[in-house]
């Protein structure tokens, strides 16, 4: 009797050890693979959600060429071909100095504005031994308008005294392969303002994407001004769009009440009332060269 | 009866004391395919594995996100669109190997082996069979093998738009430098 019990126990031990060896793979994965940190990649398809930047920086040594258009207001009717007649264009080149640091330069036809920016990826969302719930990127830009004042047609009024500096902290989380969301507190500093206007304007933006398929996503973006001007009120920027990815290109098509494609413009100078139909059709096309 | 008991006890103790497991955390697996427009060359240098020389068993596991490409955009598409690494973060192999000669871990030498097992990729598990070579050196076993997989078998879909860019058969080259497990 006693012997049988021992025998049974031994058999049990043997079978247990056999099961353990069958699970060589799960042992391996528990010990090594499951603790290896992994980063959230491609939180957004593009370096822009719509008008504003996303946390995405270009990878090292890759160059992105961006062509963006914002047409006139759709509610100007058939005479202006629903806004298509009045196009604003921005051409830009953006380059990844490292995987975290991107610099860019752009030229806007709107008010003949030049802009230069740098964005740096401070934190990357990751899982594993160390868990970081969000990705964080810092963005700073300088914009200078070179449009001649109408009464000084011969004099070019361009100097840094007119420069506008924008700083945005981009905080994003990829919740699932389909859903990413971003918050962006922003500060726009204007060197020269009309009387009674603040030099510093603060705003809080939010935006996100919902992937409808592997290559198409629905995007939305909103910037809320925290200290709007009382004398010269402007609208909060609203934008809705679709991203379509085809190999090396990303096409972004959108509707927005902002005419400008850079921070200082769409955050502090948006004129259109989205809900009264002051909506511009626009697109961004990006091409990445490695 | 007592004899059997004794035998079982010996069995158990052999099991516990055998020092025949070899491990690696920095194995290398390469995916390579030649396609009409561009070659795909992805390398993962963080492959983990366990090799058991008494049981002739092997297990390999890796993270899809650890595959590196020269072109960052290719790497993004590989993860986002093809392998869907958020949904299926790991790929693994577990199986056994057979050698004609008995593998002596204390003697340097090379042993051709046949490997049988299950490969899991993109959430699909398939039985595969391949041949390889185990090279035994002091406290080290280097395992090398090369085989082909068809991406269709693993339910990896390629849109017709980019079908020319991507080959349907991928060469998988494996090199795993196992070292003796120390406890």
B108-131 confidence digits (pLDDT tens)? 999 999 999 999 999 999 999 999
pTM reported for the whole predicted model: 0.83
Per this entry, what is the length of chain A? 290
pLDDT tens digits for range B15-48: 444 568 999 999 999 999 887 777 889 999 999 9
pLDDT at A53: 97
Nearest to A114 by CA among A261, A280, A268: A261
HEC letters along B99-164:
ECCCCCCCCCEEEEEEEEEEEEECCEEEEEEEEEEEEEECCEEEEEEEEEEEHHHHCCCCCHHHHH
**Is position A273 within any domain?**
yes
**With a cut of 70, which residues of chain A have pLDDT below it?**
1-3, 6-7, 9-22, 150-159
Residue among B48, B57, B161 minimizing CB distance to A33: B48
Instruction: Show which of residues 60-89 on chain B sit within 8 Å of chain A, judged by CB atoms.
Output: 60-63, 65-66, 70-73, 76-77, 79-81, 84-87, 89
Show the domains of chain B with their CATH numbers.
19-180 (2.40.128.110)
How many C-beta atoms lie closer than 10 Å to residue A242's C-beta? 17
H-helix or E-strand spanning residue A30: helix A24-31
In chain A, how many domains are there?
1
The runs of H, that is alpha helices, within chain A are 2-22, 24-31, 263-268
Window B:16-55, CB contacts with A under 8 Å: 25, 46, 48-50, 52, 55
Q: What is the ipTM of this complex?
A: 0.78
Report the pLDDT averaged over residues B6-13. 55
Task: Closest CB to B65: pick one of A25, A38, A60.
Answer: A38
Q: What is the Cα–Cα distance from A83 to A70, expressed in whole angstroms?
A: 9
Query: Within a domain: residue A17?
Result: no
- CA dihedral A169→A170→A175→A176, nearest 10 degrees, is -160
- Res B11 pLDDT > 80: no
Q: What is the pLDDT of residue B17?
A: 41
A206 in a structural domain: yes
Predicted pLDDT of residue B132:
95
A101 is a domain residue: yes
A4 part of a folded domain: no
User: What CATH number corresponds to the domain at position A55?
Assistant: 2.40.160.40
The confidence score (pLDDT) of residue B166 equals 67
Residue A1 lies in a domain: no
- pLDDT at res. B6: 61
Domain that holds residue A119: 40-289
Residues of B within 8 A of A59 (CB-CB) are 72-73
Contact between chains at B48 and A60 (C-beta distance less than 8 A): no
pLDDT higher at A14 or B183 = B183
Looking at residue A21, its pLDDT comes to: 43
Q: What per-residue confidence (pLDDT) applies to A11? A: 63
Q: How far is A67 from chain B (nearest CA, A)?
A: 19
pLDDT band for position B162 (50/70/90)?
low
Task: Look at residue A252 and tell me if it is in a domain.
Answer: yes
């Amino acid at each position: 009797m006693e012997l049988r019990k021992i025998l049974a126990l031994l058999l049990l031990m043997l079978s247990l050890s056999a099961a353990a060896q069958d699970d060589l793979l799960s042992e391996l994965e528990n010990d090594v693979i499951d603790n290896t940190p992994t980063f959230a990649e491609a939180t957004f398809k593009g370096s822009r959600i719509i008008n504003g930047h996303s946390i995405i920086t270009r990878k090292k040594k890759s160059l992105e060429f961006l062509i963006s258009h914002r047409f006139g207001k759709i509610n100007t009717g058939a005479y202006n071909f629903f806004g298509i007649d009045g196009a604003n264009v921005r051409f830009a080149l953006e380059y990844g100095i490292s995987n975290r640091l991107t610099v860019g330069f752009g030229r806007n036809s709107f008010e003949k504005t030049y802009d230069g920016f740098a964005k740096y990826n401070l934190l990357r969302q990751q899982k594993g031994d160390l868990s970081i719930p969000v990705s964080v990127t810092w963005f700073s830009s300088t914009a200078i308008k070179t449009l001649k004042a109408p009464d000084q047609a011969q004099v070019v009024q361009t100097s840094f005294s007119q420069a506008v500096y924008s700083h945005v902290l981009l905080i994003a989380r990829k919740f699932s392969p389909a859903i990413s969301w971003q918050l962006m507190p922003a500060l726009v500093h204007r060197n020269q303002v009309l009387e009674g206007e603040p030099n510093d304007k603060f705003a809080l933006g939010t935006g996100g994407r919902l992937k409808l398929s592997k290559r198409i996503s629905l995007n939305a973006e909103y910037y809320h001004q925290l200290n709007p001007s009382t004398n010269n009120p402007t609208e909060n920027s609203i934008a809705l769009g679709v991203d379509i990815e085809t190999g090396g290109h990303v096409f972004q098509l959108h509707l927005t009440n902002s005419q400008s494609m850079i921070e200082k413009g769409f955050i502090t100078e948006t004129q259109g009332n989205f809900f009264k139909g002051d909506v511009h059709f626009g697109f961004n096309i990006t091409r990445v060269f490695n | 009866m007592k004899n059997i008991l004794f035998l079982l006890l010996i069995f158990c103790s052999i099991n516990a004391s055998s020092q025949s497991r070899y491990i690696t955390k920095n194995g290398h697996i390469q995916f390579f395919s030649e396609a009409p427009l561009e070659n795909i060359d992805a390398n993962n240098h963080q492959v983990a594995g366990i090799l058991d020389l008494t049981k002739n068993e092997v297990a390999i596991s890796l993270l899809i996100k650890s595959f590196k490409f020269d072109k960052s955009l290719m790497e993004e598409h590989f993860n986002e669109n093809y392998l869907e690494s958020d949904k299926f973060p790991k790929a693994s192999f577990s199986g056994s190997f057979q050698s004609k000669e008995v593998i002596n871990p204390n003697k340097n030498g090379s042993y051709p082996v046949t490997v049988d097992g299950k490969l899991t990729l993109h959430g699909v598990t398939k039985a595969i069979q391949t041949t390889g070579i185990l090279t035994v050196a002091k406290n080290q076993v280097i395992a090398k093998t090369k085989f082909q997989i068809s991406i269709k078998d693993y339910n990896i879909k390629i849109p017709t738009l980019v079908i020319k860019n991507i080959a349907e058969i991928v060469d998988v080259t494996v090199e795993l430098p196992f070292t003796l497990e120390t406890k």
